[in-house]
Structure 1
Amino acid sequence: MTLARAEAAEPEHAALDIAGERLILRADRSVYWPRTATLFVADTHFGKAGVFRRHGMGLPQGTTDADLARLGAAIAATEASRVVVLGDFVHAPPAADEPWLARFAAWRAGHAGVDFRVLRGNHDRMDAVPAAFDVDWQAGARLEAPFVCRHEPAHDPRGPVLAGHLHPVVVLRDGGERLRLPAFWAHAEGLVLPAFSSFAGGAAVTPAAGDRLFVIGGDRVIEVATGADR
Structure 2
Amino acid sequence: MTPNAELNLAGERLVLRADHSLFWPAGATLFVADTHFGKGGVFRRQGVNVPAGTTEADLARLERALRETGARRLIVLGDFVHAPPACDEPWLARFADWRARHAGIDIVVIRGNHDRMRELPIDLGVDFLTGSRVTGPFVCRHEPAYDTRGPVLAGHIHPAVRLADGSECVRCPVFWRYAGGLVLPAFCSFAGGGRINPAVGDRMFAVGAGEVVEVGLSRPERATRQG
**What's the TM-score bracket when you normalise by the shorter of the two chains?**
over 0.9
Q: How far apart are residue 145 of structure 1 and its match? A: 2.4
Does residue 146 of structure 1 match 2:146? no
1:80-128 per-residue CA deviation (whole Å, 9 max, x = no partner) reads 0000000000000112211011000000001001000001000001011
**After the TM superposition, which residues 57-136 of structure 1 pair with which residues of structure 2 at under 5 Å, given as runs?**
57-136=48-127
Which residue is equivalent to 1:51?
A: 42
Asked if the contact 1:43/1:164 (under 8 Å) is kept, the reply is: yes
Counterpart residue number, 1:207: 198
Alignment of 1:16-31 (within 5 A): 16-31=7-22
Contact 1:171/1:204, CA 8 A, preserved across alignment: no
Match of 2:216 in 1: 225
Shift of the 217–40 alpha-carbon distance from structure 1 to 2, 3 Å rule, reads same
- 1:73 maps to amino acid: R
Count of residues paired in the alignment: 219
**Mapped contact 2:85–2:120 kept (Cα < 8 A):** no
Distance 2:126 2:62 in 1: 15
Q: CA deviation at 1:227?
A: 4.3
One-letter identity of the residue aligned with 1:198:
S
The whole-number CA distance in structure 2 between the counterparts of 1:222 and 1:71 is 21
Secondary structure at the aligned position of 1:152 is classed as coil
With normalisation by structure 1, the TM-score equals 0.92
For residue 137 of structure 1, report the CA deviation from its aligned partner.
Answer: 0.8
> Which runs of 5 or more residues in structure 2 are unaligned?
220-227
Alignment of 1:164-179 (within 5 A): 164-174=155-165, 177-179=168-170
Deviations 1:122-178 (A, max 9, x none): 000101124431001111100112100000001111000000001001101346532
- C-alpha distance in 1, partners of 2:32/2:201? 24
In 2, Cα distance between equivalents of 1:20 and 1:174? 33
Task: Determine whether 1:183 maps to 2:166.
Answer: no
Letter of the 2:193 partner, please give it: G
Q: Which runs of 5+ in 1 are unaligned?
A: 1-9
Could you tell me the TM-score, scaled by structure 2's length? 0.93
CA RMSD of aligned residues (A): 1.3
The answer to whether the 8 Å contact 2:85/2:121 transfers is no
**CA distance, structure 2, for counterparts of residue 131 and residue 118 of structure 1:** 16
